[in-house]
Amino acid sequence: MSQRKQTLGEFIIENQASFKYTSGELSRLINSIRLAAKVVNHEVNKAGLVDILGAAGDTNVQGEDQQKLDVYANTKFIQTMTKRNIVCGIASEEEDDFITINSQDENHQNKYVVLIDPLDGSSNIDVNVSVGTIFSIYRRVTPVGTPVTIEDFLQKGNHQVAAGYIIYGTSTMLVYTTGHGVNGFTLNPAIGSFYLSHPDMKFPEDGRIYSVNEGNYIHFPKGIKDYIKYCQMEEGDRPYTSRYIGSLVSDFHRNMIKGGIYMYPKSSKASNGKLRLLYECNPMAFLAEQANGKASDGFNRILDIQPTELHQRVPFICGSKNMVEKAEEFMRAAE
């Protein structure tokens, strides 16, 4: 008889002792993300049924169309974490500035800040293609009990204590790390529990999938163009297969399971690419490294970059170690 799979709740309790600081605060925080994920999942799943599709008629701080589900997911995650009073600050891709959380209790001891992309791949909602949520967690650097400052959010990615994503796909999964490997949990929608379905996830060292928006090819730097040509060359196990969903979460998830590389390079139109260092690249880079993969801006490790602003963008190359190293080689050679 097959053994019953561990639930996420059980996993969190069992692994709490391995966290650096064991007050249970981080466990409660991950629990609240789990709860918000279920609520957002419910909404994403019925997106085709109700009048929730389409633009909300608003644009976010970066001038992009906000979808109704972007707004909904943003509100739900912020509400859940605020109500439970377990974080001292939140920064979101959908908010102009960070949010300070004032506890009712003036001696509040909350230590963590959360940075979040509440709905990733939002252009895919209207066409029933997988979207996601990405989160990143740090310990504050300013004194506990005082209001958070920008310093608490502008930390290097290598200071993250936890990061993860939820993928609202053919099944819904929550995948996260606290710096002890990456574990994936699948939601059983009938019961409403996440079960450990993908323990200790690892990127294969090599892969045969490359994911990039090739429509922008003409605007890419020479190193990326050369690497794409290398992927397409007939030699050894090449040409590789091209797969691009347009939801970072989904492209990353597939590449981690099958082996592959994701690239959103800079271009002659966008000098730092499109993806946001704090809400997208850092959490994905932490997960990638915890899963034996690699994440780079083409020259430097993503997790070593000192952020200078909340909505900063950065070129992003991430995936199977040998593939990322090969792309970096082409970047250096084209300098």
Distance CA(315)–CA(268), nearest Å, equals 12
The residue from 26, 74, 77, 120 that contacts ligand AHG (CB under 6 A) is 120
Closest CA to 276 of 40, 115, 90: 115
The footprint of Mn ion on this chain (CB under 5 A) covers a number of residues equal to 4
> In this chain, which stretch among 79-87, 170-178, 243-251, 288-296 interacts with ligand AHG, using CB under 6 A?
243-251
174 binds, among Mn ion, ligand AHG, none (CB under 5 to 8 A by kind): none
- Binders of ligand AHG in range 265-284 (CB under 6 A): 274
Tell the smallest beta-carbon distance from residue 195 to Mn ion (Å).
26
274 binds, among ligand AHG, Mn ion, none (CB under 5 to 8 A by kind): ligand AHG
Distance CA(164)–CA(72), nearest Å, equals 20
In the complex with Mn ion, which residue's Cβ is closer, 88 or 134? Answer: 134
Tokens of 38: 């279920």
Are 225 and 212 in contact by the 8 Å Cβ rule? The answer is no
Check binding of 251 to Mn ion (CB under 5 A). no
Which are the contacts of 59, defined by CB distance < 8 A and separation ≥ 6? 65, 66
Check binding of 121 to ligand AHG (CB under 6 A). yes
Closest CA to 271 of 202, 221, 207: 221
Check binding of 213 to ligand AHG (CB under 6 A). yes
Closest CA to 95 of 136, 139, 123, 62: 62
Which are the contacts of 187, defined by CB distance < 8 A and separation ≥ 6? 37, 38, 41, 171, 172, 173, 174, 193, 194
- Binders of ligand AHG in range 291-330 (CB under 6 A): none
Check binding of 247 to ligand AHG (CB under 6 A). yes
Tokens of 313: 């963008």
Sign of the CA dihedral running 45, 49, 51, 54:
positive
- Binders of Mn ion in range 96-155 (CB under 5 A): 117, 119-120
> In this chain, which stretch among 119-127, 173-181, 288-296, 321-329 interacts with ligand AHG, using CB under 6 A?
119-127
In the complex with ligand AHG, which residue's Cβ is closer, 25 or 214? Answer: 214
The residue from 73, 87, 117, 140 that contacts ligand AHG (CB under 6 A) is 117
Residue 239: is the preceding peptide bond cis (ω within 30°)? Answer: yes
- Binders of ligand AHG in range 14-73 (CB under 6 A): none
The residue from 26, 44, 113, 248 that contacts ligand AHG (CB under 6 A) is 248
Q: Which residues bind ligand AHG (CB under 6 A)?
A: 93, 117, 120-122, 213, 246-248, 274
